[in-house]
Amino acid sequence: MAYTVTPTPAGPVGSQYCVCKVELSVCGQNLLDRDVTSKSDPFCVLFMEVNGKWVELDRTETAVNNLNPAFAKKFIIDYHFEEVQKLKFALFDQDKSSTQLYEHDFLGEFSCTLGTIVSSKKITRSLLLGNGKPAGKGMITIAAQELSDNRVITLSMAGRKLDKKDLFGKSDPFLEFYKPGDDGKWMLVHRTEVIKYTLDPVWKPFTVPLVSLCDGDVEKLIKVMCYDYDSDGGHDFIGEFQTSVARMCEAQDALPLELECINPKKQKKKKNYKNSGIIIVKSCKISRDFSFLDYILGGCQLMFTVGIDFTASNGNPRDPSSLHYINPMGTNEYLSAIWAVGQIIQDYDSDKMFPALGFGAQLPPDWKVSHEFAINFNPTNPFCSGVEGIVQAYSACLPHIRFYGPTNFSPIVNHVARFAAQATQQEAASQYFILLIITDGVISDMDETRHAVVQASKLPMSIIIVGVGNADFAAMEFLDGDSRVLRSYTGEEAVRDIVQFVPFRDFRNAPKETLAKAVLAELPQQVVQYFKHQNLPPIASEPA
């Protein structure tokens, strides 16, 4: 493999929908010794595959005379759940000061997807030489960490005996919170609501990101200013004080923190000036606002199931006009959809064993119609090994079944929901279920399916529907509650939107990655929404 140095692209590699940034730490063990008089001087180069070519993103420092280096320089990458981000870590022994990699001795390399690293949090693998053979006993360890401060602060504030500013009544107080900006000036972070006609206000509790309030530094001074609201915008200054988050966190429910509100002008003028009232921190709590990657790095597994439509409207699979016809290239729209979604999700499931189910076909030997059968014909073990296993089972089952009908979705939705319901016993975010249904048309059991989806919306589960062929998919759009809340025939509303529908025809001429992006774009927020709603932390989460 020839390595070339490519100028760093101006923008970030990947789409604009970056979930977050990930920091990768790299260590090497038992590296090859390429130096005669001393040990190797290794450095690591990170490449990402862009349009089929390896592009260099960054490189570490050189570790002198060290066959077991732990590199201090970290690699920082934009993470996109809905893309396959292929990475290559190549190690070299520095021989000269040249930036050209062919000037240095090659010590081995390792390739994988970013999804593989983040789903394991830390991986150790053998290094390989260019010919695919092991690079001696050389190993590489890569650890991932999300680069974001996800702490939020919730403050509950009140006031007592504030200065009276209005001629014919009491004050209408509100608070403003400021942090020091880079230019040395105070920068407004948050403004409370106005409490009318009182000198003893109690403001509603509010939550802001800790980064917003104090740049994540709990010792940093922040300034709180109290004003009396005037409708003309000329708010009257009551007083101010400076404090820190660390100090405010001393407030307990039983023991609030009291801070004097000072008006410096009054303080200068009046000898016996005490204060312009007291601002009370009733409670101050820091917690974590977990992200999708927090749950994945914490060890949450995405459990993937495929449901395939084998109804007669698809056409005879031996006929080239059939949607199930496998063309000379070995593919069709069903297989394209399975690959597009499966190759992303499989990185997030440690055993990579996926149930694959069919519906709408008559099965041997008695040719009864089934709306929920294992496509490998093993009902007690419907699991296929990886996406390749699903593809093989799908191709193998086609000659042995008769396409029939009707198009009933609810049995398969309920099948996955039964497993998702068992997972609701979890005390931390360990499992989330994803059902991919690929279908050619109109749902026959719309009422039952609506009801099944509404019930499933309470579970750790999302449904992706890919419509193949050219049928009218209005009913699918109805299930995808982007424009309005989905209701069951009983009138019960879905707790959250868990269905994402995409017509395959919109992507026929687009690069295959674009289907995966469209289908999986909403999934991270659906996962986070469920676990937050259930108040479930990641399995391995640090205290705030």
**CATH at residue 284:** 2.60.40.150
Backbone angles phi, psi at 143, to 5 degrees: -120, 140
Q: What's the pLDDT score for residue 9?
A: 32
State how far the Cα of 244 lies from the Cα of 236, in Å rounded to an integer. 25
Per the structure, the complete domain to which residue 158 belongs is given by: 151-288
CB 27 within 8 A of CB 140: yes
Do the domain assignments include residue 324? yes
Q: What is the per-residue pLDDT across 309-324, written as a single tens digit (0 to 9) for each?
A: 999 999 999 999 999 9
Q: What's the pLDDT score for residue 29?
A: 97
Residue matched to tokens 């740049």: 215
Backbone angles phi, psi at 338, to 5 degrees: -60, -45
Domain shared by 250 and 300, yes or no? no
The chain-wide mean pLDDT, for the chain, equals 90
- SS3 call for 298: coil
CB 303 within 8 A of CB 434: yes
Q: Does the structure show a pLDDT above 60 at 3?
A: no
DSSP annotation of 400: G
Q: What is the per-residue pLDDT across 18-29, written as a single tens digit (0 to 9) for each?
A: 458 899 999 999
Sheet of 361-363: strand order equals 368-370, 361-363, 402-403
Q: What is the per-residue pLDDT across 29-41, written as a single tens digit (0 to 9) for each?
A: 999 998 778 889 9
Residue that wins the pLDDT comparison between 275 and 212: 275
Domain shared by 204 and 176, yes or no? yes
Q: What's the pLDDT score for residue 454?
A: 96
CB 128 within 8 A of CB 113: no
Backbone angles phi, psi at 494, to 5 degrees: -65, 135
Domain shared by 331 and 263, yes or no? no
Q: What's the pLDDT score for residue 414?
A: 98
Do the domain assignments include residue 14? no
DSSP, residue by residue, 184-211: SSEEEEEE-----S-SS-BPPPEEEEHH
Among 226, 206, 210, residue whose Cα is nearest residue 218: 210
Q: What is the per-residue pLDDT across 115-161, written as a single tens digit (0 to 9) for each?
A: 999 999 999 999 999 999 999 999 999 999 888 888 899 999 999 99
Domain shared by 275 and 164, yes or no? yes
Q: What is the per-residue pLDDT across 368-426, written as a single tens digit (0 to 9) for each?
A: 999 999 999 999 999 999 999 999 999 999 999 999 999 999 999 999 999 999 999 98
pLDDT band at 542 (very low <50, low <70, confident <90, very high): low
Q: What is the per-residue pLDDT across 152-186, written as a single tens digit (0 to 9) for each?
A: 999 999 999 999 886 677 899 999 999 998 778 89
Do the domain assignments include residue 9? no
Q: Does the structure show a pLDDT above 70 at 352?
A: yes
Domain shared by 284 and 299, yes or no? no
Q: What's the pLDDT score for residue 11?
A: 33
Number of domains in the chain: 3
> SS3 helix, strand, coil % of the chain, rounded to 5?
20, 35, 45
Domain end marker among 259, 288, 317:
288
Domain shared by 71 and 207, yes or no? no
Backbone angles phi, psi at 516, to 5 degrees: -60, -40
Q: What's the pLDDT score for residue 544?
A: 62
Q: Which two tokens stand for residue 195?
A: 């409490």
Domain end marker among 147, 171, 192:
147
Q: Where are the alpha helices (DSSP H) in 220-359?
A: 245-248, 264-269, 292-297, 333-345
Do the domain assignments include residue 10? no
- Beta strand 75-79 with 53-59 is unpaired
Domain shared by 376 and 300, yes or no? yes
What lies within 8 Å, CB to CB, of 382 at 6+ separation is 355, 356, 357, 374, 375, 376
pLDDT above 90 coverage of the chain, percent? 74
Backbone angles phi, psi at 101, to 5 degrees: -70, -25
Q: What is the per-residue pLDDT across 232-291, written as a single tens digit (0 to 9) for each?
A: 778 999 999 999 999 999 987 779 999 999 999 999 998 899 999 999 999 999 998 898
Do the domain assignments include residue 186? yes
Q: Does the structure show a pLDDT above 60 at 471?
A: yes
What lies within 8 Å, CB to CB, of 210 at 6+ separation is 149, 151, 152, 153, 216, 218, 245, 286
Among 400, 412, 183, residue whose Cα is nearest residue 309: 412
Q: What's the pLDDT score for residue 86?
A: 97
Domain shared by 203 and 108, yes or no? no
pLDDT band at 6 (very low <50, low <70, confident <90, very high): very low
Q: What's the pLDDT score for residue 149?
A: 81
Amino acid identity at 207: T
Q: Does the structure show a pLDDT above 60 at 5?
A: no
Domain shared by 328 and 461, yes or no? yes
Domain shared by 271 and 335, yes or no? no
Domain shared by 174 and 224, yes or no? yes
Q: What is the per-residue pLDDT across 67-125, written as a single tens digit (0 to 9) for each?
A: 999 999 899 999 999 999 999 999 999 988 888 898 899 999 999 999 999 999 999 99
* pLDDT, mean of residues 448-471: 95
Do the domain assignments include residue 13? no
Q: What's the pLDDT score for residue 541?
A: 66
Q: What's the pLDDT score for residue 19?
A: 59
Do the domain assignments include residue 220? yes
Residue that wins the pLDDT comparison between 445 and 10: 445
DSSP annotation of 364: T
CB 351 within 8 A of CB 343: no
Domain shared by 245 and 311, yes or no? no
Do the domain assignments include residue 523? yes
Residue that wins the pLDDT comparison between 529 and 472: 529
Among 443, 435, 375, residue whose Cα is nearest residue 407: 443
State how far the Cα of 346 lies from the Cα of 357, in Å rounded to an integer. 17
Which domain CATH number covers 370?
Answer: 3.40.50.410
Q: What's the pLDDT score for residue 168?
A: 72
State how far the Cα of 341 lies from the Cα of 510, in Å rounded to an integer. 15
Determine the distance from the C-alpha atom of residue 272 to the mean position of all C-alpha atoms in its chain, rounded to a whole number. 58
Domain end marker among 255, 272, 288:
288
State how far the Cα of 448 lies from the Cα of 409, in Å rounded to an integer. 8
